[in-house]
Amino acid sequence: MAGLPEWLRPGARPTGRPLGAAVGDRVVRRALGAIGRALALLVVETEPSRGGPLRDADPRAKMLAAVGLIVVATLLREPASLAACLALPLATAVAAHVPARRLVPVAIVAIASAAFMLPATLNVVSGGHPVLTLWRPAPGNLGPWRLPAAVAVTGSGIVVAGRMVLRATACAALAVLLTTATPPQELFAGLRSFGVPQAFVMVLSMTERYLAVLLQSARELHLARLARSVAAIGVRREEAWAAAGVGAVFRRTRVLADDVALAMASRGFCGEVRLLRPARWRVGDWIVVAASAAAGAALLALDRGLA
């Protein structure tokens, strides 16, 4: 029994703060949640049924349509036209029977943008006519800054913040619709048609493939950490554990890279990159591109008309 630590001896009770309340425990659980979500997303990516009718369109057509509309969204200025731009991918998602959980990232972008843009609604950032006074500070200075007579929400600020939230959400909805309706391997193969170097596309598709393996390693590390914890440890030891985890994943990365390189060599890889050949361009694909171009032109015309 001499070599056993105190906490491992029969009848010993863990000292220190209970685990459930510890910051490190919350952080590990949060990381586990994030890894689980990323893994789930990678697995869902391979479901052939998602994306509905959009699933059948050529990845190049979908990419052209989505990226074109994202660029259009960055050119729009009026909140009404931006709202129409947001409605377009949401309506398409509903029509294509995209599961609601797939649109969660869009909601996250909307909420994060709204929080980030809150200060922009105030007269101290955007200026303009006050519509709601929040605070009248006593005259004076805050460090090098002179305090304003009043802190108020302004009409201009609401327009500026609303425009940003709508634009960021519309872009996120278009990107999510593209990734939902197109498996990553098809998406990456489609990139080749837009001049992305072959080596980059191949490495990109390998990255996506092995990401799940490394994520699984990271999940096992976090689970092992959680399973072996009996009490909270200090922040410095938590940091040391995280760094050791990163190091362990790097070691796994190197071992896996060696294995993959040997496997590629044994299968005859001699530097020539071969990718999935994209399918033939069909009439339906032209319709997707033409419809998105028409929608983009209509949005720009609406925007200029409203200006």
Near another protein by CB under 8 A: residue from 47, 56, 220, 239: 239
How far is residue 1's CA from residue 9's CA, in Å, rounded to a whole number?
8
Candidate segments 2-10, 47-55, 194-202, 276-284, binder of another protein by CB under 8 A: 194-202
Candidate segments 12-20, 89-97, 136-144, 212-220, binder of another protein by CB under 8 A: 212-220
How far is residue 274's CA from residue 124's CA, in Å, rounded to a whole number?
56
- The string of DSSP letters for 24-78 reads HHHHHHHHHHHHHHHHHHHHHTT-TTTTGGGGGS-HHHHHHHHHHHHHHHHH--S
Count of residues that interact with another protein, criterion CB under 8 A: 91
How far is residue 204's CA from residue 221's CA, in Å, rounded to a whole number?
25
Q: Is 38 in the site for another protein (CB under 8 A)?
A: yes
Near another protein by CB under 8 A: residue from 61, 218, 288, 299: 218
**How far, CA to CA in Å, does 270 sit from each of 20, 199, 264?**
53, 13, 8
Near another protein by CB under 8 A: residue from 54, 98, 176, 181: 176
Query: Which is nearer to another protein, 61 or 106 (by Cβ)?
Result: 106
Q: Is 187 in the site for another protein (CB under 8 A)?
A: yes
Candidate segments 46-54, 89-97, 197-205, 297-305, binder of another protein by CB under 8 A: 197-205
Give, as ranges, the residues between 265 and 304 that touch another protein (CB under 8 A). Answer: 270-271, 273
CA 146 to chain centre: 39
Q: Is 199 in the site for another protein (CB under 8 A)?
A: yes
Q: Is 246 in the site for another protein (CB under 8 A)?
A: yes
Asked if 191 and 80 count as a contact pair (C-beta separation under 8 A), the reply is no
Q: Which ranges of the chain does DSSP label H, i.e. alpha helix?
A: 23-44, 59-75, 79-95, 104-117, 123-126, 155-181, 184-191, 198-227, 235-266, 283-306
Candidate segments 3-11, 167-175, 278-286, 297-305, binder of another protein by CB under 8 A: 167-175
Query: Which is nearer to another protein, 129 or 282 (by Cβ)?
Result: 129
Q: Is 261 in the site for another protein (CB under 8 A)?
A: yes
Show Cβ contacts of residue 145 under 8 Å, excluding neighbours closer than 6 positions.
none
How far is residue 235's CA from residue 23's CA, in Å, rounded to a whole number?
9
List the structure tokens of 181. 């309706």
User: Closest distance between another protein and the C-beta of residue 256, in Å?
Assistant: 6
Phi-psi category of residue 127: left, alpha or beta, with phi > 0 → left and psi -120 to 50 → alpha: left
Q: Is 31 in the site for another protein (CB under 8 A)?
A: yes
Give, as ranges, the residues between 82 and 101 that touch another protein (CB under 8 A). Answer: none
User: Closest distance between another protein and the C-beta of residue 126, in Å?
Assistant: 6
Query: Which is nearer to another protein, 172 or 295 (by Cβ)?
Result: 172
User: Closest distance between another protein and the C-beta of residue 154, in Å?
Assistant: 10
How far is residue 147's CA from residue 124's CA, in Å, rounded to a whole number?
9
Give, as ranges, the residues between 100 and 139 that touch another protein (CB under 8 A). Answer: 105-106, 109, 113, 117, 119-120, 125-126, 128
According to DSSP, the residues that pair with 154 across neighbouring strands are 130
User: Closest distance between another protein and the C-beta of residue 31, in Å?
Assistant: 5
List the structure tokens of 294. 């028409």
Near another protein by CB under 8 A: residue from 97, 146, 251, 304: 251
